[in-house]
Amino acid sequence: MAKVRVHNFSISLDGYGAGTDQGLDHPLGVGGNRLHTWALKTRAGRRQVLGKPGGEEGLDNDFWLRGDEGIGATIMGRNMFGPIRGEWRDDGWKGWWGDEPPYHHPVFVLTHHPHEPIPMEGGTTFHFVTDGIEAALAQAVEAAGGQDVRIGGGVATVQQYLRAGLIDEMHVAIAPVLLGGGERLFDHLDGGAERYECVELVGSPAVVHARFTRKE
Amino acid sequence: MAKVRVHNFSISLDGYGAGTDQGLDHPLGVGGNRLHTWALKTRAGRRQVLGKPGGEEGLDNDFWLRGDEGIGATIMGRNMFGPIRGEWRDDGWKGWWGDEPPYHHPVFVLTHHPHEPIPMEGGTTFHFVTDGIEAALAQAVEAAGGQDVRIGGGVATVQQYLRAGLIDEMHVAIAPVLLGGGERLFDHLDGGAERYECVELVGSPAVVHARFTRKE
């Protein structure tokens, strides 16, 4: 059975997965970049996000790498795909990630507004799903061809899947910053959090990794 | 200058310092006991809280011990002192901690309702302060005689002192549990969180320790 997994989802010590005022100027909200400092210090994260050599190996790098292992499709919310709200504009927006996004597999974007698929270089195609999280998951499982499906984010998307109990495993990275405001990961779960238990808690000076699985 | 410190303040991975429905049956709220499992595994915490021998030395034990070092007075909220709300009753309540509380110094309880001081065995006296957090701090600093003052809790009391920027150092212990509801430590701070920075992040499999200091 394909699993539904969350990886490298960074939150602050006060629980925010994104800062306030998300938009084109602040894709991750004000201060949101600070949540990902740890990832840019790792060899794999540095290469993937910045396209640069260098960086550290070890625990944090291993966690970063695990986020891509065995993943055949990704689901993300519309706000993670771009800053546009409401109807799509004819502006050629193709995501934040340039011509060759780091997915290299089908990506399903949750939206209320239909959009033609966008094929990108390197194997990524953005598909747009307008009939809800379960339909998106069914399409992603099909597209993953036996591999696992990753819920990429953002906060509201992970919350929807947690609330529905559809996530099997989740890795949250807790960064040593206080944002003071924004979107909290563990909010609006309507009891969904109680279905999960922390099975691993380990860290470096840069970040703490907490792994959760759904209880039987 | 005496410092104002918070130590061994346990929160869940979803940020709660106490569970829901605090009261006589659940002093720490539903599930709140699980926040303190790590402390009861340490040699010092086990002796102090349970009065029992055994337990582990090492990182967590060191953090627990640091909470008492150089502390000359403690401030706590009324709900940490007891389950009674509103007017005091003539019921002989002397706190949760038996005849010899583990403070061994003056303790100042924030309340809206005057109460005579309660001297206990072993050097603890409970004083009741009705004129606010700054008055309580002034009295505690005076009573501490050059040593530091500890803000004991609960959540609302720590928040008040954080909001006022009166806390110099804070140690938060993040336990690997999800409570799903209760009182969040990093809430209602009105920008108070931004005045603090995380200066240490370290952990054992049982708990993560985050230390904060106020920015200059």
Residue ranges in chain B modelled with pLDDT below 50: none
Percent of chain A with pLDDT over 90: 86
Residue extents of the structural domains in chain B? 4-17+29-87+96-214
Query: Is residue A23 very low, low, confident or very high in pLDDT (cuts 50, 70, 90)?
Result: confident
Number of alpha helices (DSSP H) and beta strands (DSSP E) in chain A? 6, 11
C-beta of residue B195 within 8 angstroms of C-beta of residue B164: no
Question: Which tokens go with A95?
Answer: 């995501």
Q: What is the pLDDT of residue A34?
A: 94
Percent of chain A with pLDDT over 70: 100
Q: What is the pLDDT of residue A95?
A: 95
Distance in Å, alpha carbon of B131 to nearest chain A alpha carbon: 29
Asked if pLDDT for residue A120 goes beyond 90, the answer is: yes
Phi and psi of A79, rounded to 5°? -75, -20
User: Tens of pLDDT along A77-102?
Assistant: 999 999 988 899 988 999 999 999 99
Task: Give the separation between CA A108 and CA A75, rounded to whole angstroms.
Answer: 5
First to last CA, chain A: 15
Q: What is the pLDDT of residue B172?
A: 98
Average pLDDT over all residues of chain A = 95
**Counting one residue from A and one from B, how many pairs have CB atoms under 8 Å apart?**
80
Which fold is adopted by the domain A4-89+98-214?
Answer: Dihydrofolate Reductase, subunit A (3.40.430)
Q: What is the pLDDT of residue B166?
A: 96
- Asked if A202 lies within 8 A of B203 by C-beta distance, the reply is yes
Q: What is the pLDDT of residue A142?
A: 98
Asked if pLDDT for residue A216 goes beyond 90, the answer is: no
- Asked if B186 lies within 8 A of A15 by C-beta distance, the reply is yes
Task: Give the separation between CA A211 and CA A201, rounded to whole angstroms.
Answer: 7
User: Tens of pLDDT along A191-211?
Assistant: 888 899 999 999 999 999 999
In A29-179, which ranges are E strands?
A: 71-77, 106-110, 118-119, 125-129, 148-153, 169-175
Of A177, A184, A203, the CB nearest to B203: A203
Q: What is the pLDDT of residue A75?
A: 98
C-beta of residue B176 within 8 angstroms of C-beta of residue B209: no
- Residues of B within 8 A of A198 (CB-CB) are 13, 176-178
Tell me what the mean pLDDT of segment A39-43 comes to.
97
Tell me what the mean pLDDT of segment A16-45 comes to.
92
**Least confidently predicted of A37-46, A56-65, B16-25:** B16-25
Q: What is the pLDDT of residue A127?
A: 98
Which fold is adopted by the domain B4-17+29-87+96-214?
Answer: Dihydrofolate Reductase, subunit A (3.40.430)
Asked if pLDDT for residue A54 goes beyond 90, the answer is: yes
Mutate to test the interface with A, among B155, B167, B178 (most CBs of A within 10 A): B178
C-beta of residue B128 within 8 angstroms of C-beta of residue B117: yes
Asked if pLDDT for residue A172 goes beyond 90, the answer is: yes
Asked if pLDDT for residue A129 goes beyond 90, the answer is: yes
Q: Is the peptide bond before A182 cis (omega within 30 degrees of 0)?
A: no
DSSP secondary structure string, B10-49? EEETT-EEE-SS-SSS-TT-TTGGGGGHHHHHBHHHIIII
User: Tens of pLDDT along B61-100?
Assistant: 999 999 999 999 999 999 999 998 889 998 899 999 999 9
Mutate to test the interface with B, among A208, A209, A211, A215 (most CBs of B within 10 A): A208
